[in-house]
Amino acid sequence: MSKKPAAAPASPPQPAAVSRPSDANRAKAERLKEMLANKYTKQKETTEEMSRRRQELEEQMKGMNLNEAQKKKYREELGKMEAQSRREGMRRLTTDDFTRLSIIGRGAFGEVRLVRKNDTGEVWALKSMTKEAMVHKNQVGHVQAERDVLASADNNWIVGLQFSFQDDINLYMAMEFLPGGDLMSLLMKEDTFPEAATKQYMAEMIQAVACVHALGYIHRDLKPDNILLDWQGHLKLTDLGLSKKVEIDASYFGATPEDLNVNAAAARLDTRPLPDRKATHVRGQTNLPRDRKLAYSTVGTPDYIAPEVLSQKGYGPECDWWSLGVIMYECLVGYTPFYADDPVMTCRKILRWQQFLDVPDHVSRALSPQCLEFMMSFVCNAESRLGRTSMDEIRNHPWFAGLDWTSASLRSAPAPYKPDGADSIAALLSSIRTLEPSDARMAAAVNQLTANFDDFEEEETSRWGGQKKVGRRDKDNDFVGYTYSRRSVGGRESISTLFEQKAEGA
């Protein structure tokens, strides 16, 4: 009788395959974690602010000889103001909360409109960006970075963000409206600036870039198109869609002007529509260790991009100073130093900048030696670039001898060029706040207010809100935590308003 063959030994159980989260899912998880941390931090700050306001109210009432009934009324009024502020902060904004006035900018991913908020009459520049395009073009990180840095900024040199919100199709950012247009438009009008005007603009741009760096970011897309003019002709930075968060030691800022507020900025922190001149992306790889304090991706508009960004060997905040040097050259000469019809050729010229950098004789003869030396100290190798080790290197340059770097001083000085119609801006804004959209005077007022911007036709298929979900159903997950509102009940201001309201009602 034959024996049955022995059964083969059972294979040991194999461990289940470990599913690793994708880079996209890790990014979403980090974003959610950051959103929750910011939420609880904001709740703590709100509670502390309420306590401080109530203490402020009690201190002011002590010297007013009020009886208990009167004090109770003031306490109740403050409670109503705070409750109203909380309701406004919790309510989700939509495009229905704004009246469209005019299109003042348009790009590959969206557009910018002049709008009026329906409940307050305030005029804002509302930037809209298509979610589907943001995801498809891998711009999610960029648009989140722009929202983060604008929400964190609270100074005179970066365009202020008031609200950010979203619907099924678009992302929106309501920002302060600067009616002077951009520096590129002014350059096209004037061709070149004299040295004195260039010095003033450079001082303001330096302060603006320093504010971005103080927030822990590199701008990476500095160009005249992204430098806006307020109604007095002073500068502010916008379009931080390519900004990159990096580690910057606070000691870098040296004797920091009080308006940079580096420590406060650091404590708060823990889409761009493409212009006609498209950014050139040069792909490359390196086996060098990646420094956490350096960035490596190649972004920016070719004419203003620094050579170390193109070389893919890592770069830091000093790449922004190169861009400012190129802008300074354009202001003085009338064109960029490495211009070429082909963007690839522009990049090649930048990489061999020593060979192609040349200041025309008639320009160099008209400029002071200090001016030329300062410009060349920006348009040079990163290792020897002015401002690489500290802001004091820039502020102490002989070209700026005697300059008061505080915002109050820079912004109180008359701007080199005052925007057309500047004297009527206040009256125009006041009338637009109250005029009905159907009023014939509204269109004329809006046209005057946007005179320094190009004209754009309304598209048949508007990118405005109110559309239903299409395409990727999960794309909203890419923009978790995007909603933001700067509005809050102020401290002394709200208390003063409270007493004024009660006095008027008495």
Residue 109 pLDDT > 80: no
Question: H helices within 110-182, ranges in order?
Answer: 131-136, 140-152
What digits encode the pLDDT tens for the residues 59-77? 888 878 888 888 888 888 8
Higher pLDDT, 141 or 13: 141
Cβ(492)–Cβ(56) below 8 Å: yes
Instruction: Give the model's pLDDT for residue 153.
Output: 78
What digits encode the pLDDT tens for the residues 33-55? 665 665 565 566 667 777 887 88
- Max avg pLDDT among 165-169, 238-242, 300-304, 476-480: 165-169
| Phi-psi domain of 466 (left: phi exceeds 0; alpha: psi -120 through 50; beta: other) | left
Residue 463 pLDDT > 90: no
- Max avg pLDDT among 103-107, 303-307, 472-476: 303-307
Global pTM reads: 0.72
What digits encode the pLDDT tens for the residues 111-166? 899 999 998 899 999 999 899 888 887 878 878 888 888 887 777 899 988 899 99
Higher pLDDT, 18 or 289: 18
Instruction: Give the model's pLDDT for residue 260.
Output: 44
Min mean pLDDT across 229-233, 252-256, 296-300 is at: 296-300
Closest listed residue to residue 277, CA positions, set 330, 313, 236, 314 = 330
Higher pLDDT, 200 or 30: 200
For residues 103-112, average pLDDT = 83
Residue 294 pLDDT > 90: no
- Max avg pLDDT among 2-11, 288-297, 483-492: 483-492
Residue 404 pLDDT > 60: yes
The two three-digit tokens of residue 43, written as one number = 């709740």
CATH number of 95-177+422-482: 3.30.200.20
Instruction: Give the model's pLDDT for residue 452.
Output: 85
Distance between CA atoms of 69 and 426, rounded to whole angstroms?
A: 42
For residues 79-90, average pLDDT = 69
- Which residues fall in the annotated binding site for ATP? 127
Under the banding of pLDDT at 50, 70 and 90, the label for residue 299 is: very low
Q: Report, as residue numbers or ranges, the catalytic residues.
A: 221
The two three-digit tokens of residue 113, written as one number = 């409109």
Which residues are CB-neighbours of 263 under 8 A, at least 6 positions away?
Answer: 250
- Max avg pLDDT among 46-50, 224-228, 308-312: 224-228
Instruction: Give the model's pLDDT for residue 114.
Output: 94
Residue 433 pLDDT > 80: yes
Task: Sort strands 110-117 and 98-106 into parallel, antiparallel or unpaired.
Answer: antiparallel
Residue 278 pLDDT > 60: no
Residue 252: what residue type? Y
- Max avg pLDDT among 65-69, 296-300, 305-309: 305-309
Name the residue ranges covered by the structural domains of the chain: 34-92+491-504, 95-177+422-482, 181-267+297-412
Question: Is the fold of 95-177+422-482 the same as that of 181-267+297-412?
Answer: no
For residues 403-419, average pLDDT = 93
Residue 284 pLDDT > 70: no
- The pLDDT mean for the chain works out to 77
Distance between CA atoms of 492 and 176, rounded to whole angstroms?
A: 23
Name the strand (E) or helix (H) holding 34: helix 23-62
Under the banding of pLDDT at 50, 70 and 90, the label for residue 256 is: very low
Place of tokens 């500068």: 235
For residues 178-184, average pLDDT = 92
What digits encode the pLDDT tens for the residues 184-200? 999 999 999 999 999 99
Instruction: Give the model's pLDDT for residue 495.
Output: 58
For residues 197-221, average pLDDT = 92
Return the percentage of the chain with pLDDT > 90, whole number. 36
Domain 181-267+297-412 belongs to what topology? Answer: Transferase(Phosphotransferase); domain 1 (1.10.510)
Residue 83 pLDDT > 70: yes
Distance between CA atoms of 158 and 227, rounded to whole angstroms?
A: 9
Min mean pLDDT across 106-115, 230-239, 258-267, 339-348 is at: 258-267
Task: Provide the Cα torsion 482, 170, 184, 423; round to 10°.
Answer: -80
Instruction: Give the model's pLDDT for residue 403.
Output: 95
Q: Is the dihedral angle over the CA atoms 212, 213, 215, 220 positive or is it negative?
A: positive
Burial grade of 474 (CB within 10 A; 0-12, 13-18, 19 or more):
exposed
